[in-house]
């Protein structure tokens, strides 16, 4: 096949789109060759989603041309786009929770399953099973399971498989890995590489630079609505790509460390939840940021949940500020000054249909009034101060949190705990789905909190992040602490060896896919 002689699978040129006075895209180009995996990166607001929505036929560009397979397109609508073989997996399109996996996979394509409009359920189940095994061979996903009972990762796999069943010529994935664990990501990448080799073009949007580096053949960087470069990520250093995205140096991402370490803020002694983790001890002092990491199944997540009272401990002690406490509900954790920034922001972090103000003060209302009542003026000024301090980008405190970007939603979660003046912060994957700009701000905020004397424990699987912000690092493997390291004296390769068990066991390498799924 001579790819060069044929027109590109997709060519978008000079795309301009304004919403009122705001230019979302200004003369942006995107050219995707046939049979390649093409990354698309940029901060929130750079225009990634807008250009994808234009490709999807959801927005009409003000100017610019779109060619699919060399054919100019005018007035694209979503149906035409699908007919042309372009399938888009949006970041948060939902599946029907009461359907089974099999039903969801063929939703809208039931035509082939029986005469007289009746569905041949058994055949549907069987084909669904085959499809899942073909594309995600390593993943165990019961075909009769209800969507509502699946994890976010499993739901994502169902969505992707559903798109693949349509035999797309261009597959667009908008942050598909945000909810996936390492093993699932590996399987997805293998599938995508297989599709590329079949001649399908993949457009891959991600905030994770390592994924771009591992997967993509080309990557286009958008900044402020303009493409600022298309490079080969395998030969271009990640730092250069990030620098193009944010127009500054990657080293500036992480704040400097000039913190004064004080008395212990949080001490954990031999904490145990049977079947999850055993005898985990660690200590976080005031002014200190401690990282904790481990693969799925390492027990790190459950450990954090147990400290916050979301799980009942089978043994061990928790001390806050040197005093022994028993925390068996989040309410008690909050009462002891412990804050949790949960991983699942939309279900546990912020109430999307409440305003910024209502979210920020939810855990600390007693500070904004007396006798059970809320002093509206005090609440307003308190919230405004926090919005200013955290630089939450919104039109005002009454805006619904639903309208904010992931990064700004995360700032609202942090503002909620700042409002409570918490002394211990537990953070569970604090920068998942957060753009680079907000990441930097969150790192700086954590650093400021530590300087003010808070104790901070960060769970993350982003090792660059942990190395960048933490003083100490605790690695869990299969429910036990296998390493306690000073970040200044270690590197990501070393941490990864501990986390995968390669360091501890005699086996040379522990494939991530064999780790028990959560």
Partner 1 sequence: MTMAPIGTNAGPVPSRARAAQALLARFGVLIGFAAVILFFAVSSPTFLTLGNITNMLVNNVALLAMVALGMTIVIASGGIDLSVGTAVDLASMVFIMLMAAGHGLMVGLLGAIAVAAVVGAVNAILITRLRISPFLATLGVLFIGQSVQQLSSDGGNPIYLFSSDMAHKFSFIGHGSLLGISIPLWIVAVSYIGVFIVLHYARFGRYVYALGAEPGVAWYSGLRIKRDTAAIYVLSAVLAGIAGIILSCTVRCYVPLSGNAFILDAIGAAFIGTTISLERRPTVIGTLVGVLLLGIVKNGLLLVGWNFYWQQVGTGVVILLVLATSFATRRHVGEA
The site for partner 1 (CB under 8 A) is made up of: 19-20, 22, 24-25, 44-50, 59, 224-225, 310, 330-331, 333-335, 340, 342, 344, 347-355, 358-359, 361-363, 365-366, 369, 372-374, 376, 387-388, 391, 393-395, 400, 403-405, 408, 416
Smallest distance from partner 1 to CB 347, Å = 4
Smallest distance from partner 1 to CB 283, Å = 24
Place of tokens 């002394």: 423
Which residue lies nearer to partner 1 by CB, 122 or 403? 403
What distance separates the 2 farthest-apart alpha carbons in the chain? 77
Which residue lies nearer to partner 1 by CB, 163 or 352? 352
Per-residue b/e over 379-388, b at no fewer than 16 CB within 10 Å? beebbeebbe
Distance CA 162, CA 405 (A): 27
Which residue lies nearer to partner 1 by CB, 55 or 467? 55
DSSP conformational letter for 100: B
DSSP conformational letter for 401: G
CB-facing half-sphere around the CA of 394: CA atoms within 13 A: 27
Cβ atoms < 10 Å from Cβ of 477: 25
Which residue lies nearer to partner 1 by CB, 293 or 305? 305
CA distances from 428 to 39, 123, 303, 312, 432 (A): 27, 41, 11, 18, 9
Smallest distance from partner 1 to CB 334, Å = 3
Which residue lies nearer to partner 1 by CB, 355 or 500? 355
Cβ atoms < 10 Å from Cβ of 421: 12
28 has which bridge partners? 15
Which residue lies nearer to partner 1 by CB, 98 or 514? 98
474 has which bridge partners? 292, 484
Report the candidate in 42, 297, 347, 35 with the shortest Cα–Cα distance to residue 184. Answer: 297
Tell me whether residue 115 is exposed, middle or buried, using C-beta atoms within 10 angstroms of its C-beta: 0 to 12, 13 to 18, 19 or more: exposed
Phi, psi of 261 (to 5 degrees): -85, 130
Which residue lies nearer to partner 1 by CB, 250 or 338? 338
Smallest distance from partner 1 to CB 253, Å = 19
Smallest distance from partner 1 to CB 385, Å = 11
Which residue lies nearer to partner 1 by CB, 404 or 469? 404
Q: Which two tokens stand for residue 387?
A: 């919005």
Smallest distance from partner 1 to CB 518, Å = 17
Smallest distance from partner 1 to CB 353, Å = 5
Smallest distance from partner 1 to CB 477, Å = 27
Which residue lies nearer to partner 1 by CB, 43 or 500? 43
Contact indicator for 401, 412 with CB cutoff of 8 Å: yes
CA distances from 147 to 94, 120, 286 (A): 10, 20, 43
Q: Kind and range of the H or E element at 292?
A: strand 289-293
Smallest distance from partner 1 to CB 373, Å = 5
Which residue lies nearer to partner 1 by CB, 418 or 482? 418
* DSSP codes of every residue in 3-65: GGGSPPSEEEEEEEEEETTEEEEEEEEEEE-TT-EEEEE--TTSSHHHHHHHHTTSS--SEEE
Distance CA 238, CA 385 (A): 36
Q: Which two tokens stand for residue 482?
A: 């296998």
Smallest distance from partner 1 to CB 187, Å = 28
CB-facing half-sphere around the CA of 86: CA atoms within 13 A: 23
Smallest distance from partner 1 to CB 326, Å = 15
488: CB partners within 8 A, 6+ apart: none
Which residue lies nearer to partner 1 by CB, 412 or 495? 412
């Amino acid at each position: 096949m001579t790819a060069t002689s044929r027109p590109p699978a997709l060519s978008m040129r000079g795309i301009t789109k304004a919403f009122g006075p705001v230019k979302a895209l200004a003369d942006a180009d995107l050219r995707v060759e046939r049979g390649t995996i093409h990354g698309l990166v940029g901060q929130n607001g750079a225009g990634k989603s807008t250009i994808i929505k234009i490709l999807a036929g959801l927005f009409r560009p003000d100017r610019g041309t779109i060619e699919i397979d060399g054919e100019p397109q005018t007035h694209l609508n979503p149906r035409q786009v699908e007919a042309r073989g372009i399938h888009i997996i949006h970041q948060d399109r939902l599946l029907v929770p009461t359907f089974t996996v099999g039903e969801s996979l063929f939703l809208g394509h039931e035509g082939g399953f029986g005469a007289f409009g009746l569905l041949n359920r058994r055949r549907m189940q069987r084909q669904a099973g085959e499809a899942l095994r073909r594309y995600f061979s390593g993943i165990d996903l019961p075909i009769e399971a209800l969507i509502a009972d699946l994890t976010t990762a499993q739901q994502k796999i169902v969505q992707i498989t559903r798109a693949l069943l349509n035999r797309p010529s261009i597959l667009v994935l908008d942050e598909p890995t945000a909810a996936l664990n390492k093993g699932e990501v590996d399987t997805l990448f293998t599938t995508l590489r297989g599709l590329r080799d079949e001649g399908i073009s993949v457009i891959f949007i991600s905030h994770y630079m390592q994924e771009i580096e591992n997967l993509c053949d080309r990557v286009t960087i958008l900044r402020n609505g303009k493409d600022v470069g298309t490079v080969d990520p395998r030969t271009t250093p990640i730092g250069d790509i990030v620098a193009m995205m944010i127009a500054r140096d990657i080293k500036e991402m992480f704040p400097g460390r000039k913190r004064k370490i004080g008395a212990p803020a949080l001490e954990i002694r031999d904490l145990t939840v049977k079947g999850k983790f055993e005898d985990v001890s660690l200590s976080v002092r005031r002014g200190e940021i401690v990282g904790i990491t481990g693969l799925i199944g390492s027990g790190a997540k459950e450990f954090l949940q147990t400290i916050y009272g979301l799980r009942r401990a089978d043994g061990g002690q928790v001390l806050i500020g040197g005093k022994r406490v028993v925390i068996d509900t989040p309410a008690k954790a909050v009462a002891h000054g412990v804050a949790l920034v949960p991983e699942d922001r939309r279900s546990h972090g912020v109430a999307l249909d409440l305003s910024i103000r209502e979210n920020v003060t939810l855990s600390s209302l007693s500070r904004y009034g007396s006798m059970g009542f809320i002093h509206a003026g005090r609440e307003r000024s308190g919230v405004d101060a926090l919005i200013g301090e955290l630089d939450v980008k919104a039109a005002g405190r009454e805006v619904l949190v639903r309208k904010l970007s992931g990064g700004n939603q995360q700032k609202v979660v942090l503002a909620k705990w700042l409002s409570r003046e918490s002394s211990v912060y537990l953070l569970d994957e604090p920068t998942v789905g957060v753009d680079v700009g907000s990441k930097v701000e969150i790192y700086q905020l954590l650093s400021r909190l530590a300087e003010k004397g808070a104790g901070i424990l960060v769970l993350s699987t982003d090792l660059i992040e942990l190395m960048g912000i933490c003083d100490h690092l605790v690695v869990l493997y299969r429910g036990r602490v296998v390493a306690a390291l000073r970040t200044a004296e270690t590197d990501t390769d070393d941490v990864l060896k501990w986390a995968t068990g390669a360091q501890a066991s005699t086996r040379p390498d522990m494939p991530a896919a064999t780790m028990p799924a959560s």
